[in-house]
């Protein structure tokens, strides 16, 4: 029993048991999150606007290559299922980088909403917790509850599709 406790305390157990991989968590028991971000266009990025469909939100910075790779995966996914799933990226860049974030979205051919985070979210005190190690990708169910959170690494399409299955 002590060996099992030690294994679990050290992060083991993410193997064939179906546990979430390192950097990911499954938190469907959490309440729906209240959120609203400053969208760069007229498409709102908020709890109210996304409710009713599964939603994938990725927190990025324009200077992060892994975040850019994550956006590329989301753009490809949105081409196939953008009608059934909400997608959005939220930039953690400072407010005065708004124009840079707009160019970032255009350069990556992002077809879904791009928004700016506020100071509370950038500090890690927002509804999604610590988002400072980018990319951070969250999958929300139709009610707006987090079902999966992947932080500090790219969540590939098949991983996100598995999280979205059945939502």
Rounded-to-integer distance, Cα 57 and Cα 60, Å: 10
Superfamily of domain 21-164: Glutaredoxin (3.40.30.10)
- For 4-63, the pLDDT digits (tens) are 333 333 333 333 333 344 455 555 557 899 999 999 999 999 999 999 999 999 999 999
pLDDT, position 71: 98
Task: Kindly state the average pLDDT of the residues 116-139.
Answer: 96
Element (H, E) at 139: strand 136-140
Record the tokens describing residue 131, joined without a space: 């988002």
- For 95-116, the pLDDT digits (tens) are 999 999 999 999 999 999 999 9
- For 111-125, the pLDDT digits (tens) are 999 999 999 999 999
pLDDT, position 16: 33
Domain ranges of the chain: 21-164
pLDDT, position 31: 85
Rounded-to-integer distance, Cα 70 and Cα 147, Å: 18
pLDDT, position 82: 74
């Amino acid at each position: 029993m002590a060996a099992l406790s030690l294994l679990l305390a050290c992060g083991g157990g993410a193997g064939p048991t179906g546990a979430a991989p390192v950097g990911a968590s499954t938190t469907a028991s959490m309440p729906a999150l209240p959120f609203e971000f400053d969208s760069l266009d007229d498409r709102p990025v908020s709890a109210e606007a996304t409710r009713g469909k599964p939603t994938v939100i990725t927190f990025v910075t324009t200077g992060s290559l892994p975040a850019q790779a994550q956006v590329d995966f989301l753009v490809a996914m949105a081409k196939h299922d953008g009608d059934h799933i909400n997608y959005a990226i939220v930039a953690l860049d400072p407010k005065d980088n708004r124009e840079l974030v707009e160019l970032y979205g255009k350069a990556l051919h992002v077809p879904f909403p791009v928004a700016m985070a506020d100071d509370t979210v950038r500090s890690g005190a927002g509804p999604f917790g610590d988002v400072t190690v980018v990319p951070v990708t969250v999958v929300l169910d139709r009610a707006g509850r987090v079902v999966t959170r992947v932080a500090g690494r790219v969540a590939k399409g098949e991983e996100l599709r598995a999280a979205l299955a059945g939502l």
